[in-house]
Chains A and B, each alone.
Chain A
């Protein structure tokens, strides 16, 4: 990204588009606050203070941003292969479940073994839940958007089943309260805290490491080259001897693995250090599986830019909650505002893209959408007429 050197004015303008659209959504939110008889000035102040105003606020923002970054990084990987992974929610749940099972089954292991074990388990859980839609797409031509939505439903029911049954805290059965949660997970699995903080754990660092790893993977390894080649032009890749189907499965698997890690970090970095369900997916993930997609878009679908994008978006969510508490509006407003932000960011994505495209052609253009160059989906079967492919 920066290897190209100089940042032109147009490029700067392009990167300010998503920020401007978030501001536009916030203006709408402020108008809604006025309509609800709440002070928008107070609201915006509470929002900013709650997200960035103090050490505690920054910690909350970093923690909120962590799953967004993991999922967002996964999205950028899948997107390079021209696959949209809407299944982050389910993949997070499966990653969390598998890592929880691992932790529960080896209570007496030292942290040095426990931590890597649970993180890898999370990775694997998510990877499996990403590989399934990947295989369904590559080998059976099933649209990944649909299969992932359905797999999200399956995952949440599976979580409910496990937490209400096999994984429930034995004390809950004894007491007869049957709250669907695990027992306090082994302390060895607690994510270590940073800088002597009592909240800020290593999750954000892991997520940043994952983003860097994804960047290296995509642009510095043969596998990454194959992923991007498949995303840019399926046919050409096939002729060049790239195993297209396997690459698609791999891309979704890696994407799922990232979401799975997000799930594990959410469990072992949670306040309660337990896995608990309220019966819904969002109750566990906080919709990070969806919001991570937006963070990735916000970061121009580039793993490294997704880092600051996730941070800002995490701040937005944390700030929204702080706003709700400060001016006492129904929490539903924050959800509506979240939706507006998504709508605005996604809708103005085209402007950003166009601004970037009018640049003179460059060899490496990570922020440009592959979809422009390759309208063909990596579907199986004979591709449609080469509708003017290339440009």
Chain B
């Protein structure tokens, strides 16, 4: 069969643009939600003036960001400075590809989907390191180094934790993991795994109480201190896409994804993801930030052994119970 190559690539480009637009809209929604939730927690009202109850505030902010001047420090390494935000934003969007959103929105049932989801954010670290280094600025550099160290440290317990889910489901495909949870969601069978997944995910996506890489009080804004305008917006997009992906993936792995009575799967997945997102925001505005050394000690001396014990215990229990 003859395939029209230009047409296929045009379709590919179009889908890429659609994906980025959806993620952009998602980011806008999440930023607004975060500001409203934080306002509620701190007894404020949050943005109120743009649109009804400030609903259009983030849209306005985004327009402002895109129109801003793109400033690059004179001594920055131009190539690395431009490459950094791209290497951060693209993997964040790519990681959404294997999340089974339900009937109309299954993008790719990769038979190693779970592994893919854990692997892709690794590329982000390269972008963070590059951005921090290319800025030629101590705050950025320290932020970049801190974030990569943190990412590498928390990646291990996080992956080990997800292994328990894979063992129970007997497959690396996200769709199979959903199928296996038809009767009982894994949060019931693996409560400790769920807890470990949530905590290590918060660390991996650099959110409070683990946001050392961009601790405002000591590093100004970490690796994106020198960035402005659209490139800065890309970092922001990546951060919220990562937040969303971690929550949606948690809902798929532990909360049974789109399964639920009456409503279509997409709605159920959205509800479960929203709950996890809300918990993430709640934690952000409730707990203080850890110190860098405390953070690393926590990763290597608490979470790594805990995830190993969790893995062995889960294996033993599975063996004892049968299947």
A and B interact physically: no
Interface residues of B (CB under 8 A from A): none
